[in-house]
Structure 1
């Protein structure tokens, strides 16, 4: 049984079957080269969210740049028998496949709301269709992590150390890397994922597990002996003090610090009553940073702070990298200059290639206007979607994580308090421009006339 691992050269096959079958159909019907525009957006924000922070564009562009089908890919597809009736030209297209379209996107770190495109693909129909699955995968997940990270940062406060600990709970090894990247780009300080940290040019962070305390304690005689052994090799690493008794461990460490037997930068508590324990540890170790972990999220951190917990930093894992998804969708809005829309109940889309026009008042978002790409911004408005790829080539240099983190920070300071609040936020609802409303009405009338025509 082969190992199911994702290799960069295989990303063209990391798609849903219907993307390929639709592409083959487009070829057979002579529509494959028609210019199509698809937009990626969310219809509704996740429950309890007041905004989203767009993330994942860098990986999306890297995927589009490297898109290709090898002879092995094509042979494997042919061997399935699924494409026995596909036109020969479909295989010719795959053999020379390269993304040649344009991408418009909001910069990573930008705050967005429901029905606002995070990204638009303008390309030959078969290409624009083919890339849907991968784009949704990378942008949905990283946008979730980035949005959750900013909420956690808001709850913890600007001075708290936030550490991403989610690798063991992320939905895959690849997701673990994306989660680490998105968290740091959205305001976290570091990650425990060694590979992610190295690839991002950062130092990984971490403490120890209970296993070390139990193993060394059993062999060398005590919890404190285990601390001494670990500290001997990693003198700046925080110590995990809740394997047995938090207060007993803190008392012993206090005495050792007083006797100059050990110097200590931090301790971590992973269980128990974090409010009471952190307060008592603060009394015993007033100059030592206290870190907390254990299924924490923005709601639990808010509760801890309101109750007076003495915590300097948080290790966030499960609740960051899992949870309610960002249900981004990817919908056709224009084909060969003809605006199109979906009218399904609860899933209606707006036709036409769009732009987000944002205005500010006293540094805060005043309103968003969803209009057409052909419209000019009104006085004081800023268009958010920017061209980032043309004819398959990037138009902008790759941004550093520090630059993206700055964009995220600016986005957060621009959000009104009622949008940022953790409990019962009030999202911005974008207004539709007159031109978009007119196009919507025209498109609906055209579709109704089509439906009313005899078969």
Structure 2
């Protein structure tokens, strides 16, 4: 029963914390949609909460202009499942809402005592995948598998988008180009900026300007300067040249931003210092203007100095710059990397208590049963894709979904960022060129196995015979 003390707790929590809306691991279980909790309460009331359920997370269709996706976000998904708990104060707060007045006592007991005890199958991070292929499957008691949906979709959808864009950027720019992630200020949230930095590095970028993300990932953050420093020091100390000298005095390894006023004039003055031996310049950055023309002019003045470009760049713009002969050695990627068309991942029930189930809504049909992705290669390139049932096998094909959690326990330590980055590069390199291209890419066709087709028809038939269709 909800008491005045419970309501007082809720009001105090709202007053103290709601304006900040910060997230910590203790809050993971409440970071969900309401209907996950109401469904779990209903399952409990009907006595089916412990039935074994399998949910698969997949993408119905690729974002427009994409020929593949790079699976990412599994590490954060597994951390979430490991820390999945409801504290007494969280349960009291839920009770105080009044929404769950008809929920059974058993529901509250489940939340109080429960933790994730299921199995998880997943494709390794950095693996190229296509539409309607499960990136992850959760096999657990129904109430647990249902409650974890929202968080899993959140981390996997977003990181998969960023990793895919990063992989495409690397593919277009080439291995020799330096690619820096500059998107923190444009990411959708502070938490999102950390995930974006991680996914970008795992997808193929060299470093990030996000200091917290870099340090937490054991990386060294990278960056240059902003126009503000040049304007401030120029105004106080007299010239742009003095601003460059001051910054270079403290950070001799950092590239200089040279387009605050006159890019070519700045390059000329720097060239004089470099040629006289007064300065050893490690790089310059261009953030505006005609990057093709300016980069060529700067290269003529500073032939041995790396040139970086930034300013709302993406894979299409980098391809255009390269085709036009721009003299650019590296790119800073921000807004267009950490935003864009979303990955529309979904999390759907495919089996309950050994009974295969499927969704048959128009345009949103799912395949029933626990599935496996089978990939075959020829000459190091992806030859064919087959979506089949978990029990199928073929010596010529490689199954992609791996068991990563058994009975709530992770089976392997988390992979390093470098391991995932290498897998991403290998995955992209294995794809057909028509799948990798930017203009009208053609995804690899995914064949549906005969056993999966048979199960699909049997499942439809069972529903028709039961009068549900």
TM-score range, shorter chain: over 0.9
Matches within 5 A, 1:296-311: 296-311=313-328
Matches within 5 A, 1:82-97: 82-97=99-114
Indicate the SS of the match to 1:325. Answer: coil
Indicate the SS of the match to 2:313. Answer: coil
Show the counterpart of 1:396.
412
* C-alpha displacement of 1:406: 1.3
Show the counterpart of 1:436.
452
Show the counterpart of 1:245.
262
| Cα distance between partner residues in 2 of 1:17 and 1:448 | 32
1:264 counterpart = 2:288: no
Indicate the SS of the match to 1:444. Answer: helix
Indicate the SS of the match to 2:140. Answer: strand
Matches within 5 A, 1:16-415: 16-376=33-393, 378-415=394-431
* C-alpha displacement of 1:326: 0.4
Indicate the SS of the match to 1:332. Answer: strand
* C-alpha displacement of 1:240: 0.2
| Cα distance between partner residues in 1 of 2:306 and 2:335 | 23
| Cα distance between partner residues in 2 of 1:183 and 1:114 | 21
* C-alpha displacement of 1:451: 2.9
Indicate the SS of the match to 1:451. Answer: coil
Which of 418, 424, 428 is the equivalent residue of 2:434?
A: 418
1:10 counterpart = 2:27: yes
* C-alpha displacement of 1:449: 2.0
Indicate the SS of the match to 2:184. Answer: coil
| Cα distance between partner residues in 1 of 2:463 and 2:364 | 16
* C-alpha displacement of 1:293: 0.3
| Cα distance between partner residues in 2 of 1:348 and 1:105 | 21
* C-alpha displacement of 1:429: 1.9
| Cα distance between partner residues in 2 of 1:284 and 1:303 | 23
| Cα distance between partner residues in 2 of 1:396 and 1:45 | 30
Indicate the SS of the match to 1:196. Answer: helix
| Cα distance between partner residues in 2 of 1:451 and 1:148 | 46
Indicate the SS of the match to 1:81. Answer: coil
Indicate the SS of the match to 1:37. Answer: strand
Cα offsets for 1:27-70 (capped at 9, x unmatched) = 00001000000000001000010000000001000000010001
| Cα distance between partner residues in 2 of 1:220 and 1:452 | 79
Indicate the SS of the match to 1:409. Answer: helix
* C-alpha displacement of 1:353: 0.2
Q: Is the 8 A contact 1:140 1:325 kept in 2?
A: yes
| Cα distance between partner residues in 2 of 1:333 and 1:256 | 67
Indicate the SS of the match to 1:11. Answer: helix
- Where structure 2 has 5 or more consecutive residues not aligned to the other structure, the ranges are 1-14
- Runs of 4+ aligned structure 1 residues displaced above 6 Å come to none
Cα offsets for 1:5-33 (capped at 9, x unmatched) = 11111010000000000000000000100
How many pairs were matched up? Answer: 452
| Cα distance between partner residues in 2 of 1:120 and 1:202 | 31
- Where structure 1 has 5 or more consecutive residues not aligned to the other structure, the ranges are none
Q: Is the 8 A contact 1:114 1:429 kept in 2?
A: no
| Cα distance between partner residues in 2 of 1:450 and 1:124 | 25
Q: Is the 8 A contact 1:161 1:188 kept in 2?
A: yes
**TM-score, normalised via structure 2 length:** 0.95
| Cα distance between partner residues in 1 of 2:441 and 2:329 | 26
| Cα distance between partner residues in 2 of 1:291 and 1:424 | 29
* C-alpha displacement of 1:452: 5.9
Indicate the SS of the match to 2:349. Answer: strand
Aligned-pair Cα RMSD in Å: 0.8
Moved more, 128-137 or 392-401: 392-401
